[in-house]
Structure formats: structure tokens, C-alpha cells
Amino acid sequence: MQQFEKFAPLIARVFIGGFFLMAGLGKIGDVQGFAGYITMGGLPAFLAWPAIVFEIAVGLSVLVGFKLRPVALAGAAFCIVTAALYHGDFADQAQMIHFLKNFSIAGAFLMFFAHGAGAYALDKKA
């Protein structure tokens, strides 16, 4: 059990970081479509590229455990804002699931903020 505890932060970083990295890279294939989507939440289309770069940067930072605490706060805020802007139609079960998923990921980010990156990370402090 002690060995799993040592690897648990790394596994969590792979899950969350990989999710963000794949989400950002996936949007590169249809930037115009993503730009259209973000306008539905009331944001300007020009934020498509900054959002994509943010997702990729967060994903990479979390994966390698670099500057994780400030990145985790930014990631939590990103998840909460996107949940509020794009997944607030609770009459649609899929939207409610996305809303709850975003808040769950925000919770994981807050755990990273509170406890650090763990033993297998570029950050020196756990």
C-alpha cells in the first residue's frame, strides 16, 4: 500500500494532465469550430488559440509536475469558469455530467495545489 501511495500523485497527474493535453491538441484540428463554440458562452472567438495553448501548457505542466501549485489554481479556475459558461443547462443530462466533470477536475487541481506534485516530478517540493 505504501508503494501505491508513492505513485498515486504521479498517476493522478497522468490522468488530469493527459486529459488537458489531449483536449488542447484535439482542438487544433478544428480551431474555427472551437472558436464558434466559445462564442456561445459569450466569449470572443479570438480566445480560441489562447485557450488551446492554455490547455496544452497546463497538461504538460501537470504531467511533468512543473510549477504545479500555481498551474493547479489556474486549472481549477478554468474548469469552474468553463462549467459555468458552457454546461449550465441541467435539463440536459449530458450538460449536467460535463458540469460535474469540470467541478471534479477542479477538485483534483485543488488537491494538487494543497499537496504538491509528489515524488516523481520536476518540482522539488512535494
At 51-78, the pLDDT tens digits run 999 999 999 999 999 999 999 999 999 9
What's the pLDDT score for residue 126?
47
| DSSP string covering the chain | -HHHHHHHHHHHHHHHHHHHHHHHHHHHTTHHHHHHHHHTTT--GGGHHHHHHHHHHHHHHHHHTSSHHHHHHHHHHHHHHHHHHHS--TTSHHHHHHHHHHHHHHHHHHHHHHH-S-SSSSSS--
pLDDT 10s digits, 90-123: 999 999 999 999 999 999 999 999 999 998 999 8
Question: Where do the structural domains in the chain lie, given as residue ranges?
Answer: 10-115
Percent of the chain at pLDDT > 70 equals: 98
